[in-house]
Amino acid sequence: MNGPVGPAVHLDEAPDRRGPTERTSMTHRTTFARPAAGLAATALVGASLWAAGPASAETEVPRPDSFTSAYTVMATPDGIIDTEGNPAEGQPGATGTFDLMVNADTEVICYDITLDGVTGEYESPAKTATHIHLAPAGEGGPPRIAFPNPEGDGTRTASGCLQGPFTTGLEDEETGEDTGEGFTLADLEADPTSYSADTHTADYAAGAVRGQLQQVPVGGIDTGMGGGATDAGEATGAGTTAVAAGGAALVVGVLGAWLLRRRAAGV
């Protein structure tokens, strides 16, 4: 799933009606503390050399007409890594889906995030508690992008588009720079499986759910059987379909589900 990034593919979309980046429906308690003050502060982001920095905001932008790559994340509570690099407890029964579409030429990432079973207040020393980290599977790492925290009673959702340069509100104490400093979406496209997505809460400081980015086709759904749905409309109609290939069940229809949820929400 980590093949070369293909040409930009144009997709039609309804008008954008998103709220501001800083919007959250849950209380977002931010702990501004340096690691020397205690391990708990650093446990919130899974590294030991970060401190709270200036919290400047990315630019909320309309959905672009084209994308250079797309990714999905199936986040679960069993993929959490603590500050020591050991498995940590996530929130039992919680799940998350991050559907991400990237235009690296214009430094825009569009996101559609759904959290089920995540409860309690968000908590992170970053400016939000929902992130993309530079963190391969089984490892911790610094956040590179801070998304608006998903909102809602029961199922929590967030969707929109952000344009870099990206900041997290966390300072790397070795460099004195924000952990998003110097990061570009081209970095993510070059090695997407080295990035994870997660969300942090007061009860699950290391993370409630986490998963690794997996690349999916921009203009269609790769079934893993030598073919795919090349039209976005076909993908939308297909929804999510389980396909057996080589003895493994492959879930397809990621982009279709992403578009369907956005259209249902009127965005």
How many other C-beta atoms are found inside a 10 Å radius of the C-beta of residue 42? 26
171 close to 52: Cβ distance less than 8 angstroms: yes
Could you tell me if residue 2 is inside a domain? Answer: no
**Whether residues 26 and 131 fall in one domain:** yes
**Whether residues 258 and 211 fall in one domain:** no
Buried residues in 169-206 as b, exposed as e (16+ CB within 10 A): bbbbeeeeebbbbebebeebbeebebbbbbbbbbebbb
* CATH number for 42: 2.60.40
**Whether residues 107 and 201 fall in one domain:** yes
Asked, as a colleague might, if the bond just before 217 is cis with ω within 30 of 0, I would say no
pTM over 0.85: no
How far apart CA 261 and CA 18 sit, in angstroms, is 14
Question: Tokens for 167?
Answer: 């900041």
Could you tell me if residue 172 is inside a domain? Answer: yes
Please state the domain count of the chain: 2
- For 254, the domain range is 220-267
Residue 247 burial class via C-beta count within 10 angstroms: exposed 0-12, middle 13-18, buried 19 and up = exposed
User: Residue type for 147, please?
Assistant: F
Show pLDDT as tens, one digit a residue, over the chain (267 residues).
444 445 454 444 444 433 333 333 333 333 323 333 333 333 443 434 444 444 345 899 999 999 999 999 999 999 999 877 889 999 999 999 999 999 999 999 999 999 999 999 999 999 999 999 999 999 999 999 999 999 999 999 999 999 999 999 999 888 999 999 999 999 999 999 999 999 999 999 999 999 999 999 997 544 333 333 333 333 333 333 332 333 333 333 444 444 445 544 555
**Whether residues 180 and 139 fall in one domain:** yes
Residues 6+ apart with CB under 8 A from 226: none
**Whether residues 102 and 178 fall in one domain:** yes
Could you tell me if residue 3 is inside a domain? Answer: no
**Whether residues 69 and 180 fall in one domain:** yes
124 close to 179: Cβ distance less than 8 angstroms: no
